[in-house]
Amino acid sequence: MMKKLILIISLSACVALQVNAQDNAVHTPKGAIVKVLTSNPGDKIKLNDVVTFQVIQKTEKDSVLFSTYMQGREVKIQVQPCQNAGDLMDVLPLLATKDSALVKVPTDSIFKGHEDQRPAFLPKGSNLVFNIKIDRIQSLQQAIDEKNAALEKLKTDEIAASNKYVTDHKLLVKTTPDGLKYLIIQPSLKHKPLAGDTLLVNYTGKTLDGKVFDSSIEADAQKAELNQPGRKYEPLEVIVGTGAVIKGWDEGLLLLNEGSKAEFIIPSSLGYGAEGAGADIAPYSTLVFDVELVKIKPIKHAAVAKKPPVKKHIISKKKS
């Protein structure tokens, strides 16, 4: 519910603003009341601009509901057409870089048509209060170029970090054509799985800097102080080779024998890619997994047809 109260990621250059001469407050078409606290020179925010800003969202009784300062990260959004007073999109076009503003948004306009979603701390007739400070304004193309450059740097940094990990730990790894690095720590002479088999796998996953983000092993989870309430510490059941897990696992597990242990160094191209996963796995992160293939539950596989033997023809040389 809190997230619904926070900024909807869109903006607009709505017009027909009304100014209250007594307090210099601007009333937007959607019902927000805006008081610009600092007015700086420079272009105002326009449709399709990408804006980076700090914001504190409070009740009228000063209870903080959301704060980028507390979160440690600013809001960054693209200017889009205004939808309702709560998205602040008819507010931002009033501001330039480094401007600050105090904004009051009537909660009645936010919850119109869905009163059942109104929380008790935002009664009828109340306002949501926003303190905004604009940090940066970019054109859409500038923002795209900056993002692409940052992604390219992440890709380059990932390769260097992965190679450094191998070197620093003096690992004699093998590398598959797809880029998976692996090291068999405990070999086994038992059979290997085939795609479609169900495997029981114990594992501990960590980032290159050693931060453990997941484990099926209770001792490892406790040592890393993982908070996994209700987690059953037992081997994970995986149907291998079917896309049920990340590509690095699908590829790596098929290389192991039942009972073997290995270390997988999985590049982001075989992991979580440009998106990352959660707070611990950043975009373009190479991941390290210590795995044990505990057991294979094979399915009945179709028999592979044997190729007929190739007949060898002996060509004798005729005596002259």
Structure tokens at 109: 């306009």
CA dihedral angle for residue 89, residue 94, residue 97, residue 98, rounded to 10 degrees:
-100
Q: How far is CA 7 from CA 19, 57, 116, in A?
A: 24, 9, 20
Mean pLDDT of the chain: 88
pTM of whole model > 0.75? no
Whether the pLDDT of residue 2 is over 50: the answer is no
Which residues have C-beta within 8 Å of that of residue 312, sequence separation ≥ 6?
Answer: none
- Residue 220: the pLDDT is 95
- d(CA 50, CA 69) in angstroms, rounded, equals 20
Catalytic residues: 203, 213-214, 246, 272, 289
- Residue 83: the pLDDT is 87
Whether the pLDDT of residue 217 is over 50: the answer is yes
- Residue 23: the pLDDT is 57
Whether the pLDDT of residue 251 is over 90: the answer is yes
Q: Which of these ranges, 9-23, 176-190, 236-250, 281-295, has the smallest mean pLDDT?
A: 9-23
Whether the pLDDT of residue 169 is over 80: the answer is yes
